[in-house]
Chain A
Amino acid sequence: MQLVTPAIGLVFWMLVTFSLLLVILKKFAWKPILASIREREQTIEDSLSLAEKTKADMIRLQGENESLLAEARKERDALLKEAREMRDKIVGDAKATADEEAKKLLTRAQDEIEKQKAAAIDELKREVSVLSVQIAEKLMQQQLENNQEQQAIIEKQLSQLN
């Protein structure tokens, strides 16, 4: 059977050719091709995971932004509130001070009035005593004849003065 008898020459050339082919292809074709395919796959995988990561980052950032915004809003509200409180306080303080001042003024005025009144009363008393002395003088001049009566009047006057 020629068909199933391997020819020595063909076996020889096949061995030589195939070995060379294997060595050449391994070194110069399959290694670089497989390496670059692997590299490309790695690049694609990396890009995809990077995209995924970026997306997650975006979502996170968005959330962060929102929370930041909310915080800022809260802070603004707090500031506003504080300002309002401050204003109220200032206004209140001013009012209190004004009231106190007014009260003080009032007291002083009253004191002054009292003093004036007291002075006026003293003046009046002095006037009255002078007047009464004058009256007494006149009375005395008139009724000195009646000694007894005079004595009584003087005593009465004196007791009244005391």
Chain B
Amino acid sequence: MGHKKGMPNFSKTFTTSSFRKSFVTAVFSAFFAVSVWASRDSVASDHGVTTAVSTHEVTIANHEGADAHSAAAHADAHGAEASLKEEKFAPGKMIMDHIADAHDWHLWGEGHGSVSIPLPVILYTESKGLTVFSSARFEHGHAAYEGFKLTEKGKVTWEQEGNTEAIYDISLTKNVVAMLIAVLTILIITLGMAKSYTKNKGKAPKGFHNLVEPLILFIRDDVAKRSIGHKTDKFMPLLLTIFSFIFVNNVFGLIPIFPGGANVTGNIAITMVLALVIFLTVNLNGNKYYWKHIFLPDVPVWMYVIIIPIEVLGVVLKPFVLMLRLFANITAGHIIILGFFSLIFIFGAMNQALGYAVSPLSVAFTVFMGLLEMLVAFLQAFVFTLLSAIYIGMAVEEHHH
């Protein structure tokens, strides 16, 4: 392999899709990492200002720090006492509270009037072993229990300052319960379907199953078969499970009242596990061609220095991007909808009439976004499944040179 032969090979490699994909994902991930780092920095520096990523802590600090200002602003209307009761509306905090996980399921109301379903807190520490109690014991962070307390960020820590012993918090949080509800829904639908299918063998599906079967066929024929080929059957259960899990959780996330509303698929832990499953599936099923493509690609030997690290990086980046895409899309959807709603209260805080004036517009935008999110709910489930299928297909593909 001479250098003269090497040059065209290089340009050929650069145009192959896997190389481009790795390159694009690398750039994208770098961009994402930088933006995360930058935003953390900016939040840290803008600690005093309650902006997008404000926390409860920040709000309280703001509340106390700007006490004089707030009192002056409200004194003419409500008096000093009223101003203390009425917390200033912080859209950033509200949105973050909604999209983040919590130890109780907030239903309605604010402050002391709020109604929420307490969920079990399960903690494991080396010194105390397993500790299980209701999250109501924390009284929304106002009380400590068995030496534990809830921070304003919703994290369980030791009541005692300076105790650095690790706490493994495996509580059934809002997201866990929401996920279990979604999983239960999937089980009811699919197991019922399986039962009726085995009972009415060879006959056409009935009723609701007519709605589900096209989805299954869509995943099988248009997603899996096109990407994986003749080994489709082996991966169908995984792809269908992933699709139904993401889709049902996405849809539940769009329902604003109790069983829904949790940001399950917009949580990085959930998407991380999903991506991990794909990572393991792809690499455990990768055949010799897959590994050869990574460690012995068809490029001149001197190119290996560049190509192999990129290919190895690509192995990790593919599931990593799957994780980020789902997380970012669903979280963004929730933020936008909540943001449009917040507009009403932001303008309402300035002037009540303005709040009313803005509300129809805000509702209209929210409805529009809600419809868009319904599309996204399906689209992201589809995209995740499709890309998973493509990655699996790339790993199990047989090459006949």
A residues at B contact (CB < 8 Å): 1-15, 17-18, 21-22, 24-26, 28-34, 36-37, 39-40, 43
Residues of B within 8 A of A (CB): 36, 39-40, 53, 96, 99-101, 122, 153, 168-173, 175-176, 179-180, 183, 186-187, 190-191, 193-194, 197-198, 201-204, 213, 216-217, 220, 233, 236-238, 240-241, 244-245, 267-270, 272-274, 277, 327, 331
Nearest Cβ in chain B — how far from A6, in angstroms? 4
The distance from the CB of A42 to the nearest CB of chain B, in whole angstroms, is 9
CB nearest to B274 among chain A residues: A18
Choose among A6, A25, A31, A32 the residue that contacts B272 (Cβ–Cβ < 8 A).
A6
Expressed in whole angstroms, the minimum distance between the Cβ of A34 and any Cβ of chain B is 6
If A30-B190, A30-B240 touch, does A7 touch B169 (CB 8 Å cutoff)? Answer: yes
Give the complex CA separation of A97 and B267 in angstroms. Answer: 120
Whether A11 lies near B269 (C-beta < 8 A) is yes
Of chain B, the residue at the smallest CB distance from A20 is: B183
Chain B residues with CB under 8 Å of A33's CB are: 190, 193-194, 197, 216
- A36-B198, A43-B202 as given contacts; A6 in contact with B40, CB under 8 Å: no
Task: Chain B residues near A40: list those with CB within 8 A.
Answer: 201-204
**A18–B101 alpha-carbon span in the complex (Å):** 18
> Which A residues are in CB contact (< 8 Å) with B175?
10
Query: What residues on B are CB-neighbors of A34 within 8 Å?
Result: 216, 220, 233, 236-237
Alpha-carbon distance between A37 and B196 when the two chains are bound, in angstroms: 12
In the assembled complex, the CB of B206 is this many whole angstroms from the nearest CB of chain A, namely 13
User: With A9-B170, A25-B237, A32-B197 given, can you name 17 additional A-B contacts, CB distance below 8 Å?
Assistant: A2-B96, A3-B100, A3-B331, A6-B269, A7-B101, A7-B169, A7-B173, A7-B267, A9-B122, A13-B172, A18-B273, A30-B236, A31-B237, A32-B198, A34-B220, A34-B237, A40-B201
Per DSSP, chain B at the interface is helix
CB-based nearest B residue for A47: B202
**Which residues of A have CB within 8 Å of B267?**
6-7, 10
B237 & A30 in contact (Cβ 8 Å cutoff): yes
- Residues of chain B within 8 A (CB-CB) of A12 are 170
Instruction: Contact check, B171 vs A9: say whether CB atoms are below 8 A apart.
Output: yes
Number of A-B contacts (CB under 8 A): 126
A4 touches B36 (CB 8 A): yes
* Cβ-defined contact, B194 with A10, below 8 A: no
**Complex-state Cα separation, A36 to B204, whole angstroms:** 10
The answer to whether A5 touches B197 (Cβ under 8 A) is: no
Given contacts A2-B100, A6-B268, A29-B193, contact A22 B238 (CB under 8 A): yes
Nearest 10 interchain pairs by C-beta? A6-B269, A29-B190, A10-B269, A26-B237, A36-B197, A30-B237, A9-B170, A14-B273, A32-B194, A13-B176
List, sorted by A's number, 20 A–B pairs whose CB atoms are closer than 8 Å: A2-B153, A4-B268, A6-B269, A6-B272, A9-B168, A9-B170, A9-B176, A10-B173, A10-B175, A13-B172, A14-B273, A17-B180, A22-B277, A24-B187, A25-B186, A26-B238, A29-B191, A31-B237, A32-B197, A37-B216
A68 to chain B, nearest CB (A): 38
Q: Is the CB of A21 within 8 A of B241?
A: yes
**How far, in angstroms, from A3 to B244 measured CA to CA in the complex?**
24
- Chain A: CB-nearest residue to B217: A37
- B179 nearest in chain A by CB position: A17
Closest A residue, CB atoms, query B103: A9
A11 CB contact (under 8 Å) in B183, B197, B273: B273
CB closest residue in chain A, given B122: A9
Q: Which of chain B's residues have a CB closer than 8 A to the CB of A10? A: 101, 173, 175-176, 267, 269-270
Residues on the A chain within 8 Å of B270, using CB: 10, 14
Pick from B39, B187, B197 the residue with the most CB of A within 10 Å.
B197
